[in-house]
Structure 1
Amino acid sequence: MKVDREKRDLERVGVGMRVEAALARIALVLLRRLGPVRASNFAGRLCRFVGPFLPVSRVAYANLRLAMPELDEAARRRIVLGVWENLGRTAGEFPHIASLRENTASGPGFEVEGAEHLIEQAQRGGSVLFVSGHIGNWEMLPPGVSAYGLGFASFYRAAANPLVDRMIRDLRNEAMGEPKPLFAKGARGAREALAYVARGGRLGMLVDQKMNDGVEARFFSRPAMTAPALAAMALRYRSPVIPGYVRRLGPARLRIVVEPPLPLPDSGDRQADILSLTQAVNDRLEAWIRACPESWLWLHRRWPTESSQP
């Protein structure tokens, strides 16, 4: 049924989307020909130059004034420039993720700090929830964790152009080495993910974006509506929650930082436990972001609109 639906979507693609997809394919070819380091440098510099002129940069400045009021204007500008550079590098490196190798002596590649937590989980088996945010090159997380025998499913917001969407999914599957389920964001996807975890599946979630119908937790000492699904699933099935993120070391050179599983609260009050675990996740995200603010995607409205207007 899913295959038939995708086929129908592709048949309805108009001329504009086909042109857009053709341009995306050309860009993909060019980035691949540049190699991982030059592609990272080129895309990073391009976005660092163009990004600050885009209206969405005002959201980043507003978020920084809200979350880190101690920064002066020069510091905020440095961070916003870094945000755009990191985003560009992430895009430039994306076509090369499948080719990056672990523990290379120098140049492009990745390393894993805290690999013992992945090894222990692989030996233990069963369901597990990996949690992270849009930090560093977050696209490195699925293939990096998969290298330890822990390939995981994830939530996914499809691109508006189905041709471009298929290209993105193909690149992700190539990097993972095998296709993994992708659950659409929304109620139906949440039900499918819940059933998947109940069967012992592994699921990864990026939980750093605002969810209007979530629970109110603190983030940078301010109220922030946060998705409770990860905490609810973890507590229902007593699944380990393993936090981790990607630290950029250089062009196409990345470090995956894996932390010990978070303690699962068990007070007998389910709602209180969900909020407690959700808060623990937000606290880890905040610590990572404070350590390197320019590595996080400050471009989305994380806090209530009335609090984050420029």
Structure 2
Amino acid sequence: MPVDPSTLSLGSRAGYFASNLVLRGIIGGLGLVPYRWRIPAMGWVLRKAAPLVGFHKRIRNNLALVCPDLPQQDVTRLCHEVSDNIGRVVAELYAGAPFLERAWQAPVTGPGLAALEQARAEGRPVILVTGHFGNYDAARANLIHRGFEMGALYRRMANPFFNEHYVRAIEKTGKPMFEQGKRGMMEMVRHLKKGGIIAIVADLHAHGGKNIDFFGEPAVTSVVPAELALKYKAAMIPVYAIRQPNGLDFEIIIQDEIPPTDPITMTTTVSKQLEDLVRQHMGQWFWVHRRWKPYNPDPNPTGSTTEN
């Protein structure tokens, strides 16, 4: 992904710059609207834009692959629900304090909170794994507010102009942030070695990963989080933020620590648990990702690079 706009062709640079201006304009304009209306307004904007930018086609293709018996009326509903949730996530990312306050107030359920507290008391490193579900940043904000200092691995946006303010926005939730890549991985490992907590969004197609079933179909999945957990004796704990019916609030679910066995078994458990959660809230997972993209994974991966 481009880091320096000067490395792009003139056409690509112009296209990225224009799309960044449009998105910034929408975000800036909605920023003038009170929070309780702003978030659903951005959901509405993306619902209207989704067919034009290819979201509906991607969602339909994914659902046809893994849920072929789903009635068309449910597929259409999910096209709108998924797009609405993504729009809300974008608005929340740039909302600052109003979003953080909602995230801080979210109730936390699940057995993993006790495991997380025990690991912190023991000075043991923790790898929190999550997915593109609900608003994953709400969980990070909530736990940081509870005193769990953590770093997070993020993926650089393809648009270099958008990436600059995107990183500034996600840093408002908490630091340090580790950019995906060799340097970011080294920084993240140093953080783990010191007994730190890191958060990884682990449900994207991953070069160098393993074919692990997700919704009954093989999806190339990174086993790096599990490898790191085993290597550094870190607790590997899944955490998710479920959007509530009012569209503004969240419930944070922290699942129990994944038993340390082997990378494939551990990653399979995480994928199955996420699938179970998605089946309960189908409209909250990012079905726009090319999760089942064909790829021949390296049989002995040493690293992973995720992509949409």
Say whether 1:37 aligns with 2:26.
no
Q: What does residue 208 of structure 1 align with?
A: 203
Equivalent position SS for 1:305: coil
The residue that corresponds to 1:156 in the other structure is 154
**Aligned equivalent of 1:300, options 277, 289, 305:** 289
Question: Partner amino acid for 2:72?
Answer: E
Contact 2:55 2:83 in 1 (8 A): no
Extract unaligned runs of 5+ from structure 2: 296-308
CA distance in structure 2 between the aligned counterparts of 1:121 and 1:31, rounded to whole angstroms: 41
> Equivalent residue for 1:269?
none
**What's the CA shift for 1:101?**
5.6
Decide whether aligned partners of structure 1 residues 11 and 221 sit closer, same or farther in structure 2, where only a CA change above 3 A counts. closer
Per the alignment, residue 223 of structure 2 pairs with: 228
Partner of 2:306: none
| Superposed displacement of residue 124, structure 1 | 3.2
Deviation, structure 1 residue 126 = 2.8
Q: What is the CA–CA distance in structure 2 between the aligned matches of 1:116 and 1:125, rounded to whole Å?
A: 14
Once the two structures are aligned, what percentage of the paired residues are identical? 24
> Aligned partners of 2:281, 2:149: CA distance in 1, in Å?
27
Shift of 1:132: 0.7
Structure 2 residue 179 is matched with structure 1 residue 183: yes
Could you tell me which of 219, 227, 230 is aligned with 2:214?
219
Do residues 259 (structure 1) and 255 (structure 2) align?
yes
Cα distance, 1:121–1:130 mapped onto 2, change above 3 Å: same
35-44 or 129-138: which moved more?
35-44
Task: Provide the C-alpha distance between the structure 2 equivalents of 1:304 and 1:24, rounded to a whole number of angstroms.
Answer: 27
Please tell me whether the aligned partners of residues 109 and 252 of structure 1 are also in contact (alpha carbons under 8 angstroms).
no
Aligned to 2:198, the other structure's residue is in SS state strand
CA pair 160-103 structure 1, distance change in 2 beyond 3 A = closer
- Letter of the 1:293 counterpart: M
Alignment gaps of 5+ in structure 1: 1-5, 266-272
Q: Shift in Å at residue 236 of structure 1?
A: 0.9
After superposition, what is the alpha-carbon deviation per residue over 1:30-89, rounded to whole angstroms, capped at 9, x for unaligned?
Answer: 232213221111111121222134334222112112212231211111112111011111
Amino acid at match of 1:289: V
Tell me how large the CA RMSD over aligned residues is. 2.8
Tell me which residue corresponds to 1:147.
145
Tell me by how many angstroms 1:103 deviates: 7.4
* Alignment CA distance shift 1:12-1:27 (3 Å): farther
- Judged with a 3 Å threshold, the aligned counterparts in structure 2 of structure 1 residues 129 and 217 are, in CA distance, closer, same or farther, namely same
Query: Does the 8 Å CA contact 1:102/1:111 hold for their aligned counterparts?
Result: no
Change (3 A) 1:19 1:79: closer
Matches within 5 A, 1:75-154: 75-100=74-99, 110-114=106-110, 115-154=113-152
**CA distance in structure 2 between the aligned counterparts of 1:122 and 1:195, rounded to whole angstroms:** 17
What is the deviation of 1:214?
Answer: 0.6
Equivalent position to 2:235, from 234, 240, 251: 240
**TM-score, normalisation: structure 1:** 0.81
Q: Which of 254, 259, 264 in structure 2 is aligned with 1:275?
A: 264
Residue of structure 2 equivalent to 1:268: none
Between the aligned partners of 2:127 and 2:49, the Cα distance in structure 1 is 36
* Higher mean C-alpha deviation, range 125-134 or range 154-163: 154-163
| Residues 120-141 of structure 1: CA deviation (Å, up to 9, x unaligned) | 4433333100001000112212
Q: Deviations over 1:74-109 (max 9, x none)?
A: 1111112111011111112222243346679xxx95
Deviations 1:213-248 (A, max 9, x none): 211212112222110100100111121011111111
Mapped to 2, the partners of 1:198 and 1:175 lie a distance apart of 23
Q: Is the 8 A contact 1:103 1:111 kept in 2?
A: no
Q: 1:195 aligns with which of 181, 190, 204?
A: 190
Count of residues paired in the alignment: 286
Cα distance, 1:22 vs. partner? Answer: 4.9
